[in-house]
Structure 1
Amino acid sequence: MADYQAPLRDMRFVLEELLDVPAQWAALPRLAGSLDADIARAVLEEAARLCAQRLAPLNRSGDEEGCQWRAEGVATPAGFAAAWRAWAEGGWVGLSGEAEHGGLGMPKALAAQVEELLNAANLSFALYPMLSAGAALTLAAHADATLRALYLPRLYRGEWAGAMCLTEPQAGTDLGLIRTRAEPDGDGSYRIFGGKIFITGGEHDLTPNIVHLLLARLPDAPPGSKGVSLFLVPKFLVEADGSLGARNAMSCGALEHKMGIKASSTCVMHYDGARGWLVGAPHQGLAAMFTMMNYERLGVGIQGLAAGERSWQNARAYARERLQGRAPGGAVAPGLSADPIVAQPDVRRMLLTMRALTEGGRAFSSYVASQLDLARDAPQPDLRAAAEARVALLTPVAKAFLTDLGLEVCVLGQQVFGGHGYIREWGQEQLVRDVRITQIYEGTNGIQALDLAGRKLVADGGALYRAFAAEMRADLDTAGEFAAPLAAALDNLDALSDWLIERGRRDPREVGAASVEYLQVFGYTVYAWLWARMARLALAREAQEVFYAEKLATARFYFARLLPRIHALSAALRSGSAVLYEVPESLL
């Protein structure tokens, strides 16, 4: 596998030129005067150094060794504990955390780039700080002052880690089915009884304490999702001064045996009267968790993007070195025994597809991250509301589309390697195994598509969509050579949206039947909008740097070879739901 090279030049292009987030930061009171492009560059350069030098070298060894269950606790692979200390000591766990509790307070648009670097270097390792950041975000938004003061500084410092405990064997997507119960203990705490599965980082040896945020039912809970509450349940009880007390009544019963991310401890957890503390209001646990989910679902999308970036780098390096046959137009390396396979049209097709989808994904994920910053910090209520609407609409697309394309790009990279892509030596098969989970956890991609089509389009009557479509259409006048195909793609998405709203209101089955294709068409159209914007910048600066010439050429490839995918997807969508129900269930 080629050494990981952080795509810092493209990150600067997206942040500083495409989105101009330094200007956005200057207009946000929380960030004005404390963050600019130079500081952001320094942050990314240091993160890139640490990821390349400390984390990427552990990726393959961590996969081969995996986590090990032991009676005294779960052991992570060799080198992971030291890597955690290095990451924590740099303040990276608390990068976006509240400054008042020791976090660095950086915006999501910058943190998203760091997340990409971390996940591209070592996806298994990246899950540990990701879960800690998610737990801290939830506590910051919903816990009382005592819990925030006691737990947030230690989470931000990486002294303790976090875990999110939702899933049970009978309750995955439908969390209203959970059975874990919480009984009042008479002193303001609760006793937790039950079990959870698929708990990332539920038990490990990276930190002495792990803070579980857990969904459970109170004795008076109403049925369904309206009866779920959120609790903080630490591995070790915490004294008032922050020191650790007795071990809580919780344990890891087993590790899940997985296809990938083997160096991430995915635990079966048992709670046998463990003490916990209520976070937020009773029966409002799902609402509290959704505070975290917009961030975490974008984070999972970035995992797909990151794996794709690593695959693209590996495949590009291999294609330039691997000698096989001669180019169809004549030898390009006549002094060698054969030409590098990068000269072959099909290899170029695969590499350009990987590049266009990865760079388009970076632009999209960064745009969504910038909207999260506006939704949190914009001083104008109307600007915050507009950003919140964008985040609500685009979060399921970011999670599902980025991870679907992440798998595609990883498989394409494996294909470029040929037989070498199927064996362990080159690392491509690990990327395929690792990225596969991103389409499943934090809500499967089918659920994300239902969320977009059902809740964000049909139930909303298209209001969220139309506001965003207007933003995209506003760029048609400056789209140059891409104005016509972008306008056609937007017209097509408008028509599909109207069709789905009308059909979905008459028959709910139509929403489910069309949702995946609708999300895919939506994603490709948004990428077209962003590629048109990137191409406009590249055309104006093409003579300055080869980077811009490459960007413009990649935009042309996207419009010529990838955007046309929307036509087949649109035709499938319009076929309706009837064909899905012609075969009886007994024959499925």
Structure 2
Amino acid sequence: MPEYKAPLRDMRFVLNEVFDAGSMWESLAGLQGAVDMETAEAILEECGKIASQVLAPINRDGDENSSTWENGEVTAAPGFKDAYQTYVEAGLNGLGGNPDFGGMGMPKTLVAQVEEMVQGSNMAFGLAPMLTAGACLSLNAHGSQELKEKYLPNMYSGVWSGAMDLTEPHAGTDLGIIRTKAEPNADGSYDITGTKIFITWGEHDMAENIIHLVLAKLPDAPAGPKGISLFLVPKFLVNEDGSLGERNAASCGSIEHKMGIKGSATCVMNYDGAKGWLVGEENKGLACMFTMMNYERLGVGIQGLGVAENSYQNAVAYARDRIQSRAPTGAVAKDKAADPIIVHPDVRRMLMTMRAFNEAGRAFSTYVGAWLDTSKYSDNADQAKHAEQMVALLTPVAKAFMTDVALESAIAGQQIFGGHGFIREWGQEQHVRDLRITQIYEGTNGIQALDLMGRKIVGTNGSLYKVFEQDVNDFVASQAGNEAAAEFIEPLKAAMENLSDLTQWVIDQAQSNPNEIGAASVEYLHVFGYAAYAYMWAKMAVVALPKQDDSFYKAKVETARFYVKRLLPRYIGLSATVKGGSESLYGLDDEMFETA
């Protein structure tokens, strides 16, 4: 039976020693007094227990016996409703929420660790609080005072949950062509009519009410994305006294049969003149929605990290127990018929790859979270603007690179199990299936790469990139006299020099051929990701190097060495691919793609 243990020791290392989160929180005016390390530790411990003891044990059952739909009603997978109550009673649902409306006001650097534990132990379940948090972010930022007072307290407490309704059958990434309509009423409400698909936890029985944030178009709306508005549409209408009223004209037409995350309900939602209320300004719905996108896209990266960590833990346990053949250097377990497979170089390669990606990903998600916290809570306008630029640049990398390497890690975990990795009861094949969606939803990884390359790099003529480049250069300069760290600093410098050169190359090429942007985007994002992870490993190694008498820190240094020697060099081939140009993509006429 697969097991999951919250990686609390590594989380403490990242928060306390690498990023000194306590000092950072104290320095941000909007967080002063809201959180301290004692509170943070208590939250991490409690979530770790819930993740390992409540959520992980129902993960496989949720995959085998998923949420069910009957006559418009969805019943959550076995154990999910009770687990949801445990989760919300622990106060975790409103962890990052506005304290004015019952949230705890915790920083993203802390919330990111909680999200990793929840997603890593049971991703299908973890989507429910994740979607509620996203809906709360948009409502808190753009909703009227009346809407916030009426809905946020029950959403933060978990009495009500939230859902985000964007996609339609004909409109995915291109939301400008949505057809859902909003007709204004005399009382200030709107009648919402249309169909939305892929709505995660759009219907279920875990919470008393579900608050949908729905993108729709007003009758006189401009064409395209500039004509989209955002509306709050509850499952049950809410009376003036806060009690639940009649059922709204919003229903679940079916739930999808999916490759993974089967425990969650992915709904087709039908709106037949459902009552809704405008969130934010008319025709400004995308701006309202994008308020939560940076958080949600980082959250998807964290999903990948969490599941990959679960896969790693079980792969290590299996590799230490499974015996097969003898070590190349001679018998290790001489009292057994064969040695445990962890002695074999190829198994070590896979385990070290998983570990190196996971630990760098944990540091990187915290790094991005720190910039989110600074942008939100700093009272220094220049500092906040700088942080916003970093968030804009790093968000697509966090979403796409973290999930791409997480899938690689989960596949490695499955491979270590050999034939057992293909069998459902061992759990590894579920990790692969669950993780696959993280590369697709919240903007496919190809779209994330295009956003990074097109908008953030070429679109700013490299100015956003220079903000990140300067941050890395400042760190490198701070280690000029640290000879012990040179084996990590020098590869980082080389990776950054290559990334800077590649950035300018694409900018130059795009001036005469716009196809170069899309042709370069995915590989460029990966080159960026490998350099960013090298930065994380250098930061961790600097902390760990003087403390190697402790096995935890020694393992850090050795994993950092593996990363710079065996994984970081991948950027060389990827860079060559980018410079291969776009011409070969267009050598075939469209009809030549046919094979029969």
TM-score, normalised with respect to structure 1: 0.99
Deviation at 1:529, TM superposition (A): 1.0
Deviations 1:245-280 (A, max 9, x none): 111011111111100000110001110000000000
Counterpart check, 1:78 vs 2:78: yes
Percent of matched pairs sharing the same residue: 59
- Of the structure 1 ranges 500-509 and 400-409, higher mean CA displacement relative to structure 2 is found in 500-509
Contact 1:304 1:402 in 2 (8 A): yes
Counterpart check, 1:114 vs 2:114: yes
Q: Measure, in 1, the Cα distance between the counterparts of 2:115 and 2:488.
A: 31
Q: Measure, in 2, the Cα distance between the counterparts of 1:446 and 1:252.
A: 30
Contact 1:2 1:313 in 2 (8 A): no
Deviations 1:28-79 (A, max 9, x none): 2232234222221111011000111111101000100001111150011121
Q: Measure, in 2, the Cα distance between the counterparts of 1:332 and 1:559.
A: 29
Deviations 1:283-330 (A, max 9, x none): 000000000100000000000000110011010010000011100100
User: Which amino acid in the other structure matches residue 561 of structure 1?
Assistant: R
Counterpart check, 1:517 vs 2:523: yes
Name stretches of at least 5 consecutive residues in structure 1 with no aligned partner: none
Q: Which residue of 2 aligns with 1:165?
A: 165
Q: Measure, in 2, the Cα distance between the counterparts of 1:5 and 1:446.
A: 32
Q: Which residue of 1 aligns with 2:128?
A: 128
Contact 1:480 1:536 in 2 (8 A): no
Deviation at 1:487, TM superposition (A): 1.2
The equivalent position to 2:571 in structure 1, one of 566, 570, 573, is 566
Contact 1:62 1:77 in 2 (8 A): yes
Counterparts in 2 of 1:112-261, with a 5 A limit? 112-261=112-261
Deviation at 1:558, TM superposition (A): 0.2
Counterpart check, 1:492 vs 2:492: no
Q: Measure, in 2, the Cα distance between the counterparts of 1:418 and 1:48.
A: 30
Deviation at 1:341, TM superposition (A): 0.1
Q: Measure, in 2, the Cα distance between the counterparts of 1:43 and 1:504.
A: 48
User: Which amino acid in the other structure matches residue 167 of structure 1?
Assistant: T
Q: Which residue of 1 aligns with 2:534?
A: 528
Counterpart check, 1:333 vs 2:309: no
Q: Which residue of 1 aligns with 2:101?
A: 101
In the TM superposition, structure 1's runs of 4+ consecutive aligned residues that sit over 4 Å from their partners are: none
Q: Which residue of 1 aligns with 2:272?
A: 272
Contact 2:183 2:218 in 1 (8 A): yes
Counterpart check, 1:542 vs 2:523: no
Q: Measure, in 1, the Cα distance between the counterparts of 2:425 and 2:263.
A: 18
Deviations 1:372-423 (A, max 9, x none): 0000001111110111000000000000001001110000000000000000
Q: Measure, in 2, the Cα distance between the counterparts of 1:476 and 1:372.
A: 23
Contact 1:414 1:421 in 2 (8 A): yes
Deviation at 1:505, TM superposition (A): 2.3
Q: Measure, in 2, the Cα distance between the counterparts of 1:5 and 1:68.
A: 29
Counterpart check, 1:425 vs 2:431: no
Deviation at 1:203, TM superposition (A): 0.6
Counterpart check, 1:394 vs 2:394: yes
TM-score, normalised with respect to structure 2: 0.98
The equivalent position to 2:511 in structure 1, one of 505, 509, 518, is 505
Deviations 1:8-40 (A, max 9, x none): 110011011111111010112232234222221
Q: Which residue of 2 aligns with 1:585?
A: 590
Number of residue equivalences = 587
User: Which amino acid in the other structure matches residue 492 of structure 1?
Assistant: N
User: Which amino acid in the other structure matches residue 110 of structure 1?
Assistant: L
Q: Measure, in 1, the Cα distance between the counterparts of 2:513 and 2:422.
A: 45
Q: Which residue of 2 aligns with 1:482?
A: 488
- Aligned to 1:268, what secondary structure does the other structure show? strand
User: Which amino acid in the other structure matches residue 437 of structure 1?
Assistant: I
Q: Measure, in 1, the Cα distance between the counterparts of 2:511 and 2:292.
A: 30
Contact 1:458 1:505 in 2 (8 A): no
Deviation at 1:533, TM superposition (A): 1.2
Q: Which residue of 1 aligns with 2:482?
A: none
- Aligned to 2:329, what secondary structure does the other structure show? coil
Q: Measure, in 2, the Cα distance between the counterparts of 1:38 and 1:243.
A: 37
Q: Which residue of 2 aligns with 1:8?
A: 8
- Aligned to 1:56, what secondary structure does the other structure show? helix
- Aligned to 2:387, what secondary structure does the other structure show? helix
Deviations 1:550-576 (A, max 9, x none): 000000000000001001100111001
User: Which amino acid in the other structure matches residue 498 of structure 1?
Assistant: Q
Name stretches of at least 5 consecutive residues in structure 2 with no aligned partner: 480-484
User: Which amino acid in the other structure matches residue 347 of structure 2?
Assistant: V
User: Which amino acid in the other structure matches residue 472 of structure 1?
Assistant: V
The equivalent position to 1:554 in structure 2, one of 541, 555, 559, is 559
Q: Measure, in 2, the Cα distance between the counterparts of 1:72 and 1:386.
A: 47
Q: Measure, in 1, the Cα distance between the counterparts of 2:117 and 2:143.
A: 30
User: Which amino acid in the other structure matches residue 569 of structure 2?
Assistant: P
Q: Measure, in 1, the Cα distance between the counterparts of 2:421 and 2:579.
A: 37
- Aligned to 1:191, what secondary structure does the other structure show? strand
User: Which amino acid in the other structure matches residue 50 of structure 1?
Assistant: I
Contact 2:77 2:264 in 1 (8 A): no
User: Which amino acid in the other structure matches residue 502 of structure 1?
Assistant: D
Deviation at 1:498, TM superposition (A): 0.2
- Aligned to 1:320, what secondary structure does the other structure show? helix
Counterparts in 2 of 1:439-454, with a 5 A limit? 439-454=439-454
Q: Measure, in 1, the Cα distance between the counterparts of 2:3 and 2:221.
A: 53
